[in-house]
Amino acid sequence: MSKKGIILIADDDSAVLDTTSTLLELFGYSVIQSRNGLEAISKYKEYRPGLVFLDVKMPKMDGYRAFFEIKKEFPNAKIIFMTAHADYSEWQKAKSKNALELIEKPYSAEELKDLVERFYTEE
């Protein structure tokens, strides 16, 4: 089976990273993992994924800062935030720059699949 495309997931929680990656691979996508915002920016530039899942709270650089850095260079980047601690003031700023969604952890496989089907596109 050929892969459908690349999705980048950035999360400092290994369990979330591994579980989400496994689900996305089962849906047929290649997955690039990142454990912090700085690494997410670097991997975005290298792989140009069709969709990104960014954790809000990560070391070195949080998801919001990484989002704004990616959007500066790649305004069409498709980015979904994941969080266990929603900060709606920052979310509003990100939404104004075309962030797609903010999903709360834990999320279900069905929610994840729905988001990918709605938003995945090749760069």
| SS3 track for 58-99 | CCCCCHHHHHHHHHHHCCCCCEEEEECCCCHHHHHHHHHCCC
Residue 1 confidence (pLDDT) = 42
pLDDT tens digits, 8-65: 999 999 999 999 999 999 999 999 999 999 999 999 999 999 999 999 999 999 999 9
pLDDT tens digits, 76-102: 999 999 998 766 788 999 999 999 999
CA angle 94, 62, 27 (to 5 degrees): 75
C-beta separation of 109 from 21 below 8 A: no
Give the Cα separation of 92 and 106 in Å (integer).
21
Give the Cα separation of 39 and 106 in Å (integer).
23
Tokens in use for 116? 């990918």
Query: Which pTM was predicted?
Result: 0.94
Torsion of CA 59, 34, 13, 81, to 10 degrees: 80
Residue 68 confidence (pLDDT) = 97
Residue 10 confidence (pLDDT) = 98
Q: How confident is the model at residue 67 (pLDDT cuts 50, 70, 90)?
A: very high
Q: Where are the domains of the chain?
A: 6-119
Residue 23 confidence (pLDDT) = 97
Give the Cα separation of 105 and 100 in Å (integer).
16
Q: Does domain 6-119 have CATH number 3.90.650.10?
A: no
What integer is the mean pLDDT of 105-115?
95
